[in-house]
Copies of this chain bind each other. A is one copy, B any other.
Amino acid sequence: MITSLAEAIKANVKDGDTVALEGFTHLIPFAAGHEIIRQGRRDLTLVRMTPDVLYDQLIGMGVARKLIFSWGGNPGVGSLHRFRDAVEHDWPQPLELEEHSHAGMANRYVAGASGLPFAVLRGYSGTDLPAHTKNVARIACPFTGEMLTAVAALQPDVTIIHAQRADRQGNVQLWGITGVQREAVLAAERAVVTVEEIVDRLEPLPGAVVLPAWVLSAVVEVPGGAHPSYAHGYSTRDNAFYQAWDSISRDRSQFLSWMQDQVLGVADSQLEGSSA
């Protein structure tokens, strides 16, 4: 249950898998994503409502075959240059897209977490989005006849999130903005959680979500594992890094050199959480 980051990724993320590394600005699982890059995974279908700098890195390193998402940008800064380069110029390889609205993605996870094949919402109406995916359909209310929208369930092979704490049994606690993480974990076949720290007991906290160990596959202690994102109560968002990423990522070779220095070239002994 409680293991190393390398082991957790090796055991749970396979080439060709559908992988959601979720988080809504807060608690983005950067360290786990970097380990996926180091392990050289390929042909992943990446899933996330708000793919950001971590997904830019994964896409730029050629990890992803497809992206399922609803908003891909560098929040408060601008474009994701590696994402754009993949879509606009097939570099380093073509990236298939399936895109939705936030409400659609959130409900796709809800359906997955609920063990249902689809969810119903008022959404997408009149937009050009449904023309580009087979996972959005019209559905009639059997009581009123009103036409609504159905979205197909999302059930990733593995969901990876970062949280603040776990206890020694592997029960996980997260708080602050918890986004769609509960649904993303419960919708997935397997779930990996990195945490800031492992503690003896999870003290109840306002706004905290607890995920019991028995719905998780692996828990890893990775202090700072969300950096440059943040963990409410542990760290603050490194806004300067998000701003710096804009220029780091603009140029292919500068991007590759940064990834070599900061991710690929990091020896096992220097890894976040490798001693856990």
| A residues with CB within 8 A of B | 114-122, 134-135, 137-139, 141-144, 146, 148, 150, 152, 204-208
Contacts and interface: CB of A to CB of B under 8 A. Distances in A.
A118 B120 contact: yes
A117 B144 contact: yes
Contact of A207 (B141, B152, B204): B204
A-B pairs with lowest CB-CB distance, top 4 = A204-B206, A137-B142, A117-B141, A143-B152
Contacts of A148: 116-117
A120 B122 contact: no
A121 B116 contact: yes
A3 to B, nearest CB: 29
Contacts of A143: 117-118, 134-135, 137, 150, 152
A118 to B, nearest CB: 5
A214 to B, nearest CB: 20
Contacts of A119: 120
A143 B154 CA distance: 12
A137 B144 CA distance: 12
Nearest to A121: B116
A205 B208 CA distance: 10
Contacts of A139: 139, 142
Contacts of A117: 141, 143-144, 146, 148
A111 to B, nearest CB: 8
9 contacts: A116-B121, A116-B148, A117-B146, A118-B142, A118-B143, A120-B120, A135-B143, A137-B142, A204-B207
Contacts of A204: 206-207
Contacts of A134: 143
Given A139-B139, A139-B142, 14 more contacts: A115-B122, A116-B121, A117-B141, A117-B143, A117-B148, A118-B120, A118-B141, A118-B143, A134-B143, A135-B143, A137-B143, A142-B150, A143-B150, A206-B208
Nearest to A146: B117
A108 to B, nearest CB: 11
Contacts of A142: 118, 137-139, 150
Contacts of A141: 117-118, 150
A56 to B, nearest CB: 31
A115 B144 CA distance: 13
Contacts of A137: 142-143
A251 to B, nearest CB: 42
